[in-house]
Amino acid sequence: MKKKNSTDKKYLYKLAFGLAFFTIIYNIIEGLVAAYFGYEDESLALFGFGIDSFIEVISGLGIAHMVLRIQSNPNSNRDSFEKTALRITGFSFYALVIGMVISAIYNILTGNKPETTFWGVIIALASIIIMWILIIEKKKVGKLLDSDAILADAECTKVCIYMSIVLLISSGIYELTNFAYIDSFGTLGLAYFAFKEGKECFEKAKHNKYCSCEND
């Protein structure tokens, strides 16, 4: 029985690592597609969403490393690799926030608007579906392993869904109404969540906490 439990746990940790690895690959693909179409269609919200996905890749590397760490020692604290990844991710989010806010204000003042936000709608819908599936699977694994760290990662993934919803709403409204400023407003909404993510990263690196997303 003890051997069986050990085998089950080994499988679950492999599954948790697989989910983390999939998240990294997905964010790379999403970032490339979103940044490309955002640039081509002059959609600031979609372009910013793409850059956010690249930053999530850095975070994902830290999560994958975390899974390997807690597999070796479930009671261990966050190590230097994870803290460094969190700080780099935090700085990157703050830089993204500055870029998005300045660009959004510029577009509002000059009246710049996208050629289309069709791909923003498609990419946002795909992201919502995939991230929701990831949350469900991460929670299943986290509960079976009784791992606060994996469960916290699942909670933090919800922010990605919130950002996808913001992109979906702003892109959808623009496609339906051609309202000039909605893409910039959507960008500011993304900047708000990016700021929260950046702040969260620094708090986790400093206090060795997992995630406070569930308390927001």
| 140-154 mean pLDDT | 92
Query: Which pLDDT value is given to residue 4?
Result: 46
Distance CA 80, CA 165 (A): 34
Predicted confidence (pLDDT) per residue in 1-15, tens digit: 455 465 688 999 999
Task: Give me the count of residues in the chain.
Answer: 216
Domain locations along the chain? 2-208
Distance CA 32, CA 47 (A): 10
Distance CA 212, CA 181 (A): 32
Question: Which of 32, 176, 163 shows the shortest CA–CA distance to 117?
Answer: 176
Predicted confidence (pLDDT) per residue in 75-134, tens digit: 888 889 999 999 999 999 999 999 999 999 999 999 999 999 999 999 999 999 999 999
Cα torsion 105, 108, 112, 118: sign: positive
Query: Which pLDDT value is given to residue 75?
Result: 80
Predicted confidence (pLDDT) per residue in 158-215, tens digit: 999 999 999 999 999 999 999 989 999 999 999 999 999 999 999 988 876 665 554 4
Query: Which pLDDT value is given to residue 7?
Result: 65
Query: Which pLDDT value is given to residue 214?
Result: 46
Query: Which pLDDT value is given to residue 76?
Result: 80
Residue 29 near residue 126, CB atoms below 8 Å: no
Query: Which pLDDT value is given to residue 1?
Result: 45
Q: Note the pTM of the prediction, 2 decimals.
A: 0.91
Residue 131 tokens read as 């991230």
pLDDT band at residue 73, thresholds of 50, 70 and 90? Answer: confident
| 146-156 mean pLDDT | 90
- 166 φ, ψ to 5°? -60, -45
**CB within 8 A of 140, min separation 6: which ones?**
none
| DSSP line for 72-85 | H-TTPPP-HHHHHH
Distance CA 91, CA 99 (A): 12
Residue 146: left (phi > 0), alpha (psi -120 to 50), or beta? left
- Overall CATH class of domain 2-208: mainly alpha
SS3 category, 146:
coil
